[in-house]
Chains A and B, each alone.
Chain A
Amino acid sequence: MLSIKNLHASIEGTPILKGINLQVNAGEVHAIMGPNGSGKSTLASVLAGREEYEVTQGEVIFQGKDLLELSPEDRAREGVFLAFQYPIEIPGVSTTNFLRTALNQIREYRGQEPLDAVKFLSLMKEKMALVEIDQKLLSRSLNEGFSGGEKKRNEIFQMAMLEPKLSILDETDSGLDIDALRIVSNGVNKLKSPSTATIVVTHYQRLLDYIVPDVVHVLYQGRIVKSGSKELALELEQKGYDWIKEEVDTAKATA
């Protein structure tokens, strides 16, 4: 579904991603872990099409299409969804308000009829129940005065509404209490299918108890330096990143 080859990206001339290779197939869950500042969110942003990041090398193929050629909105319409690490506030624009526009533009792109108000509302109700989010929250200005957990829940609600093919969850678990974590993870799991894939960026094993990954990657200094099974996450939780950093540094020194 997603094939990233030798991806390099920089911001304001500073290279951040330095040769990412990643293959994600339909039906899979990939976890990306790694120390602060290693480039996890940068990778997510590059995939979503943020213009500040300049791709200097490499390619990203998503379902046979050159993803890097597409505008951010077309990537979303093709089925890429990014749940932001730090969802921003947008005064005067409510979730309900922009989601209807979003959903109908996505449907138009896919050659589907727009949803009328009634159908849209019933879809909302269904998805609201899935992530246990309150309608009141959705008619308020986006994220204005939302708690950390409410913001994250809102991201997953939007994901549920838009039914993406590839979901990238950037630290969606941070700031969630244990109940919210369970609700959000359940939501994510219910949306999983053999034809969709998920990339979860996280620092914590506890999320991976709920959303069980097929592969765990460690991103360090702009590269994926280690990949393994779900046990790798457990090992990282116990031992931290130092041993990986050392491995990388020795490899560099001998190279």
Chain B
Amino acid sequence: MSIQTKQDLLQGLFTASPSNFISLREQGKEKFLSQGLPNQKSEEYRFTPIAKKLEQAITRFSPASPLSLSKEQVENALIEGFEGDILVFSNGYYHPEFSSRIDGIEVSILSEKPNTPIGSIAKPEKDPFLSLNQATFSDGVFISIPSKFICKKPILLLNLHQELDGQVISPRIWIEVGDFSEVTFIEQGCSLGNSPYFVNKVIEIQGGVQSQISYHRIQHEGNQVIEVSQLETDIQRDARFTSFYLSLSGDLIRNNLSLYLKGSNSVGNMYGISLLQGKSLVDHHTCVDHKEPHAESNELYKGIFGDYSRGVFNGKILVRQDAQKTNAFQQNNNVLLSEEALINTKPQLEIWADDVKCSHGCTVGQLDEEALFYLQARGIEKTTARGLLLFAFIAEVVDKIQVESLQKYIIAQIQERLGSTF
């Protein structure tokens, strides 16, 4: 990153950041300045030239303002057949006027909850974008689900994005889920315009004892979008956390997903599908941290890459010394549909306990031409046959989605993509 861009960043973002959480922001800024933005030499961002991208695409490093939304815009962005509660955001700002009141759940603007322990899960020293967000986040939300509360319907976090005044969007979300409670979130981003913007997002989730939390993300914004996100989750004993990422588009998308299994007998599931074309790059950096014994983690990511698209998968499994009897499973399978498509995949295991079961594997292949011919020889159109085979490849992950309307939506999205372009 050039000195000029860094100056722009400092001027544009730091000086414009809201005057709340002052000491937290100070700390974020300090951490960011000592880390600097990652360059090609940074191990964690080796395959993801984020600084270069920012320099090319972002000209105004100042925060994007909230949009004045219409009811129509919100409705158009909704998942078809979605049944549940909706929280609407524009450029990271919460819009209560378009959002559901959810019985029994507190949803507040973050600045109204100054005691929220922001940064206690997503520690700013971990990643420069995390500290940058901590220093500069716009006003996000605080969501609290009390103990023993079963949220029957899913909650959709609908994020509408468009550059306005500036091109940088810095949302921050804090979610706490009480003991024995259950909740399902769906987070969806939606571009309203065609000009580039940069989303730098942080979500922290604190899951209580025996809580059950699912968090789905649908990444289907414009192909000019640059996004770095951090989803950082702590769960306690007997709790279960499941994440699901569907990545369909974007210019450069970096997902940092960290799950801390802080109690015994907890379960973490991390699933993902990347279905990319054009020049999109999606980078999944995941980390599951087993701190206590008898916990389990399952990770399954599949990717299909067409055209010039690129994928990065880096899956870290950390099993600490106390985490005996851990079961950790990780799998990343990829299909490259063109000569130019590329995937860099790497498991990263750090195991300090001796009585654990740990398995991992990654594969990179092409579409099976023989299978394609077999189906064609039965009278199936080539594109349909391709779609059938590719869908079969990812079906295992699609099956993990528990929300019916979401599963339908995702299947429709995938089929449209497989039918039309691949």
Contacts and interface: CB of A to CB of B under 8 A. Distances in A.
Nearest to A164: B379
Interface stretch (B60-68, B351-359, B380-388): B380-388
B376 A72 contact: yes
A3 B404 CA distance: 53
Nearest to A106: B379
B229 to A, nearest CB: 30
B362 interface: no
Contact of B374 (A81, A90, A91, A92): A90
Interface stretch (B145-153, B155-163, B201-209, B391-399): B391-399
B388 A101 contact: yes
Contacts of B379: 73, 76-77, 102-103, 105-106, 109, 162
A88 B370 contact: yes
A98 B377 contact: no
B373 A93 contact: no
Contacts of A65: none
B376 A105 contact: no
A185 B198 CA distance: 66
Given A88-B370, A90-B371, A92-B396, A49 B377 contact: yes
A71 interface: yes
Q: In this complex, which of B373, B379, B381 has the most chain A Cβ atoms within 10 angstroms of its Cβ? A: B379
Q: In which size bucket is the chain B interface?
A: 20 to 34
B371 A98 contact: no
A75 B377 CA distance: 8
Contact of A105 (B381, B391, B392, B396): B381
A105 B384 contact: yes
Interface of B: 368, 370-371, 373-382, 384-385, 388-389, 391-393, 395-396
Interface of A: 48-51, 71-73, 75-77, 81-82, 84, 87-88, 90-93, 97-99, 101-103, 105-106, 109, 158, 162
A73 B380 contact: yes
- Chain B facing A: main interface SS: helix
A234 to B, nearest CB: 32
A93 B367 CA distance: 14
Given A92-B395, A93-B389, A93-B392, A99 B374 contact: no
A71 B373 CA distance: 10
- Chain A facing B: main interface SS: helix
Nearest to B378: A102
B200 to A, nearest CB: 37
B374 A84 contact: yes
Given A71-B376, A90-B368, A91-B392, 14 more contacts: A71-B382, A72-B377, A73-B385, A77-B379, A81-B377, A88-B371, A90-B371, A90-B389, A90-B392, A93-B392, A102-B378, A105-B379, A105-B381, A106-B379
A158 B395 contact: no
B374 A88 contact: yes
A51 B368 CA distance: 14
B415 to A, nearest CB: 12
B377 A93 contact: no
Nearest to B391: A92
Contacts of B375: 90, 93, 98, 102
A49 B336 CA distance: 24
B384 A92 contact: no
